Amino acid sequence: MTWETIRSGAGMALGTIRAHKLRSFLTVLGVIIGTATVIGVGSIITGLDGAVSNIFRSMGPNTILVFKFRIGPRVGRLSAEERNRKPLTLENARAIAERCPSVEHVSPYLLSPNVFSRFGMDRARYKGDDLYNFELGGTEEAYAFGGTVMKYGRFLSQTDNQHRLPVCVIGEDIQRLWFPNLDPTGKWIEVNGRPFQIIGAMERPAASFPGEEDRRILLPYFTMRKMFPNAREHLLVVIAQEGRLAQAMDEVRSVLRIERRVPHDAPDSFALSTPEQMLEDFRRIMAVTAIVMVVLSSIGLLVGGIGVMNIMLVSVTERTREIGVRKAVGARRADIILQFLTEAVVLTALGGLLGMSLGWVISRAAGWVFPNLPTSVPLWAAASGVIVSVGVGLFFGIWPAAKAARLDPVEALRYE
């Protein structure tokens, strides 16, 4: 087997493909779809991983989110024990601030009771324009130390909170919806039928989920409590001192176990989440998702491989006399096998290249639809697409090639 023999076989294969363009295209359509799926899914997963990594890390390396159950990506539903846990309280936040020397800031975040209600829904209105899909919460000025940047005006202050003033700050997408290209500071809106003056508009976080909008409406903590006396669910945003995240987590855990009267031999009745932990949870889930998507895309490659084997068997039948002539003039079995394997590999390799192009188009389209998704075709996806497509040609081309090599030259020459 020489390079010249392989090049000659490839030339014959390309000639056969040119002679039957439509048939060849339909034969490798499964390979094209399978390869495009691998490339497209690989690029989207890579982009999503980069975007989500930026999101979690933009929260700050010293941020700890405390809630009654684990925050972030998870597999499966909450357990009954997690659902029945007591909510965190404002007193828990004050205890952390007073008794944790490694903690720099603590901000309670009071969730609207309508978040967990099946029947209620928060409503905001500006000049008759109603908004329902938004995030309503009550917090303190320490919330801004978590990386909040103001686009217009200012954030909530201690004075706003102490005097329970009817003021609020809004997210960037609400500002763009109601006040396009305008400073909304000083405008009045209604939240659940009550008037609130806008004192500032926040910028969307520098890194946000693809397609995610910033629809926050934040009130002073005690204003929120006055508005919703029955609100109980708290999220605590804890910011540790630089370089003391581990110590701060230990201190917060100890204080909360005491505050919540957790027995020494019982597990925590709350959860501490850091950006790195949430990122690890996300990557575990995405790894499973990637495996599932690759398995599904392999179905297309399997269908394509069966199509290649079928069309190669038809080709052997059509070219029986040609095989007989080649054997009569001295062609060996290895030459016949190489010819048909080369043809199968060239066919699937071209399908793989077309699939790579289609996968790249999918990647670019995803990046265009979701500007926050930094899609890119990873090297492993491109390499695996080519290798798998060539492997499909080799595997499914063996039987037709062996059948051609076994033909008796005398019988082949008699074939009509």
Among 412, 215, 386, smallest CA distance to 333 is for 412
Tokens 């990873």 correspond to what residue?
A: 378
H or E stretch at 394 = helix 379-405
Tokens 């995030």 correspond to what residue?
A: 135
H or E stretch at 130 = strand 129-131
DSSP 87: P
Phi then psi for 194, rounded to 5 degrees? -110, 140
- Half-sphere exposure at residue 155, Cβ-oriented, CA atoms within 13 angstroms: 18
- Half-sphere exposure at residue 96, Cβ-oriented, CA atoms within 13 angstroms: 31
Q: CA of 177: how far to CAs of 70, 125, 126, in Å?
A: 33, 12, 10
H or E stretch at 49 = helix 29-58
Among 315, 368, 415, smallest CA distance to 43 is for 368
Contacts of 329 (CB under 8 A, 6+ apart): none
Q: Which residues pair with 191 in a beta bridge?
A: 124, 194
H or E stretch at 22 = helix 21-27
Residues in the chain predicted with pLDDT less than 50, given as ranges, are 207-211
pLDDT at res. 298 = 72
pLDDT at res. 263 = 87
Contacts of 148 (CB under 8 A, 6+ apart): 155, 202
Tokens 């039987």 correspond to what residue?
A: 399
What percent of the chain shows pLDDT beyond 90?
21
SS in 3 state form for 307-365? HHHHHHHHHHHHCHHHHHHHHHCCCCHHHHHHHHHHHHHHHHHHHHHHHHHHHHHHHHH
pTM: predicted TM-score of the whole model, two decimal places? 0.62
pLDDT at res. 198 = 95
Q: What is the dihedral of CA 273, 279, 282, 286, to 10 degrees?
A: -170
384-398: b or e for each residue (b if 16 or more CB lie within 10 Å)? bbbebbbbbbeebbb
pLDDT at res. 185 = 94
H or E stretch at 81 = helix 80-83
Q: Which of left, alpha, beta for 396 (phi over 0: left; psi -120 to 50: alpha)?
A: alpha
Among 412, 388, 415, smallest CA distance to 336 is for 412
